[in-house]
Amino acid sequence: MTMREKVVVIVGPTAVGKTKLSIILAKRFAGEIINGDAMQVYRGLNIGTAKITADEAEGVPHHLIDIRDPGEEYTAADFQKDARRVIDEVSQRGKLPILVGGTGFYVKAALFDYRFSSPGADPAFRTEMENLVKKRGTAALHERLKAIDPKSAARIHPHNIVRVIRALEVCRATGIPFSEQRHPISETPFFDTVSIGLTMDRSALYRRINQRVDQMIQDGLLDEAHALYRRGIRTAQSVQAIGYKELFPYFDGEVSLEEAVELLKRNTRRYAKRQLTWFRRQMAIHWFEMTDEPSGFSKTAEEIIQFIMRNLTT
């Protein structure tokens, strides 16, 4: 892989306008877009992940979308390998790679010299841990992780069963805590990178999130989520995405649809807040304030274009 290839990075919370901006930038700079969202790699998870449609893409090539089945695992190490390969391929074609997404660790793993210890899956151990959850609940599983790797336990939500089991699995296979296996060797990125962060007034962002969820329901999110539910995919990594797991209790008859939708909105708002916090702490990013107003969006997009032109070395 050629070092110091040029890469534009667009990050920020969900619903802030990353997709719309990325199309504008790709057209302006002859770019191709690389997905940086952990859940858009899965086929069939379209509405709930706000996956770009063919019409929205306007002919701009997109990469690392729909490359896994919902039952398959896809790790940050997988993404690192795939994203760097695509960056190299896009650059070799004389196009500008534009990495766009809100999954912070995936984005950072692609850009920086992270080294992963990635033992293969242990199906027997995973089944054992899944049975533990069925018998004693998610808290018991999380306590097990807390006992051997408190740093990972503090970072991974108890309800994120897939990640808790993976952390336990890696600890068991390597003898090294999962939290100690994913630090960057260097804080210098592999690439000539211009990193752009999009933010928005909190109340405006939350309003957009609520409206997006309502639109997702209208667009058929229930049917999409129910298809996964019927397949029995309950603990797979794919359905840990916000937008799916919140609806499963409704399918189980445990909550009303209204309660499930409100939980989905709340969890999405909280996720957006976590995304902003993570990016501000973990990466050197130039932030731009976005707005709901079309004229304001166009003005900020032009500011971002000028910023890229000044900062992307020739």
pLDDT tens digits for range 113-156: 776 656 667 888 888 998 999 899 999 999 999 988 888 899 89
Q: How many CB atoms lie within 10 A of CB 134?
A: 9
Q: What is the pTM of this model?
A: 0.81
Domain covering 6-114+192-311 in this structure, CATH number = 3.40.50.300
Nearest to 177 by CA among 187, 189, 169: 169
Q: CB count, 10 Å around CB of 121?
A: 13
Q: What is the CATH number of domain 123-180?
A: 1.10.20.140
Cα–Cα dist 85/1, whole Å? 8
What's the helix, strand, coil split of the chain in %, to 5? 55, 10, 35
pLDDT computed for residue 40 by the predictor = 96
What is the model's pLDDT at position 2?
A: 43
Phi, psi of 270 (to 5 degrees): -65, -40
- pLDDT tens, residue by residue, 240-259: 778 898 999 999 999 999 99
* pLDDT recorded at residue 198: 98
Domain residue ranges in the chain: 6-114+192-311, 123-180
CB 42 within 8 A of CB 238: yes
Instruction: Using pLDDT thresholds of 50, 70 and 90, give the confidence band for residue 182.
Output: low
Cα distance between the two ends of the chain: 19
Among the residue ranges 115-129, 218-232, 237-251, 300-314, the one predicted with the least confidence is: 115-129
- The DSSP call for residue 239 is G
Task: Give 190 or 33, the one with higher predicted confidence.
Answer: 33
